[in-house]
Amino acid sequence: MTDESKLSCEQVLEHLLAHLDQELNAETSAEIDRHLAECRGCFSRAEFERRLKSRVAQTGTASAPESLRARIKGLIERF
């Protein structure tokens, strides 16, 4: 981390998921982007999280089988 970067690795990792979800203000996002450009460890973690989010999003498009839907509906009705 250079003197230009204001955020520590701990701070970046604490806000990484919000950053990837574009939930932070522009200034904080820019600071995190600068840190990621300088810090290989945090960059690698960010890439892992990006890829994981992408894989999870892809798997979320499959429809549940009707038997599973009926089973879940039955459980909900019992409660």
Predicted confidence (pLDDT) per residue in 25-79, tens digit:
999 999 999 999 999 999 999 999 999 999 888 887 778 899 999 999 999 999 8
Q: Find the helix or strand (DSSP H, E) in which 8 lies.
A: none
d(CA 28, CA 9): 14
d(CA 3, CA 51): 30
Domains and CATH numbers, the chain: 9-78 (1.10.10)
Residue 72 CB neighbour total at 10 angstroms: 11
Contacts of 12 (CB under 8 A, 6+ apart): 32, 35, 36, 39, 42
Q: What is the pTM of this model?
A: 0.67
